[in-house]
Structure formats: structure tokens, C-alpha cells
Amino acid sequence: MNFELFDWIFAIVLFGVGIALLTGHGDLFMGGEKGASERKGIYDDKKMAKGFGVGFLLLGAANVVTIFVKNFVASTVYMIFIILVIVGEIIYIKKYCKK
């Protein structure tokens, strides 16, 4: 089964969410109501949204690359890249987004 259409839709969603977060219109994507008050007391939401926006754009770009390059090495690099982006996001939030 060919998942290329799904890959394109996923990449477009990642780019859309990333751009929304970078431009400051992505409050909808920043979490639920339960932890919002606790998060606002600890972290700067604008810095956090920009960091997540960059992360989503990187993941969208990596997803587009995997649409065109289909082999085992590319898949392995893609998975490692996803892990690095997630770890980078965690480090960025813990280090630069605290109030």
C-alpha cells in the first residue's frame, strides 16, 4: 500500500502547525486546560511556542525528504532525526523557556 498521500498530508499539517506556532497564532496547539495555569507560571509561552514551531517545521521538512528518498538508510536517518528533534525540544524548553 502506498502511503505517499498520507505523507504529504502529514507534512502539510506539520508545516501548518509550525507556522501557526511561530507566528503566535498557535495557542490552540500548546496544551490542554489541566496544566495550562501551572505551565504559565513556570514557562514563557511565547518562547515555548517558537521552539515548538521550529521543531514542527524541521519534522515537516524531514517528512518531505522521506517522500522522495525511500530506502533503509533514509528511514534510519529519519528516525534518528526525529529523536534528536524531540531531545532538542526538551533541552530547549528546560534551558531557555523558564521564566
Count, residues in the chain: 99
Q: Quickly list DSSP for 38-64.
A: HHHHHB-HHHHHHHHHHHHHHHHHHHH
Q: Considering the domain boundaries, does residue 8 fall inside one?
A: yes
Round to whole Å and give the CA distance between 3 and 9: 10
Round to whole Å and give the CA distance between 36 and 79: 30
Q: Considering the domain boundaries, does residue 52 fall inside one?
A: yes
In a 13 Å sphere around the CA of 40, the CA atoms on its Cβ side amount to: 9
Cβ proximity of 30 and 83 under 8 Å: no
Instruction: Quote the DSSP letter at residue 33.
Output: S
Count up the domains in the chain and report the number: 1
Q: Considering the domain boundaries, does residue 47 fall inside one?
A: yes
Round to whole Å and give the CA distance between 58 and 63: 9
Query: Tens of pLDDT along 22-45?
Result: 998 887 887 765 666 666 678 888
Q: Considering the domain boundaries, does residue 42 fall inside one?
A: yes
Among 50-54, 58-62, 79-83, 95-99, name the one with the lowest average pLDDT: 95-99
Whole-structure pTM value: 0.85
Give yes or no for residue 91 having a pLDDT over 70: yes
Q: Considering the domain boundaries, does residue 29 fall inside one?
A: no
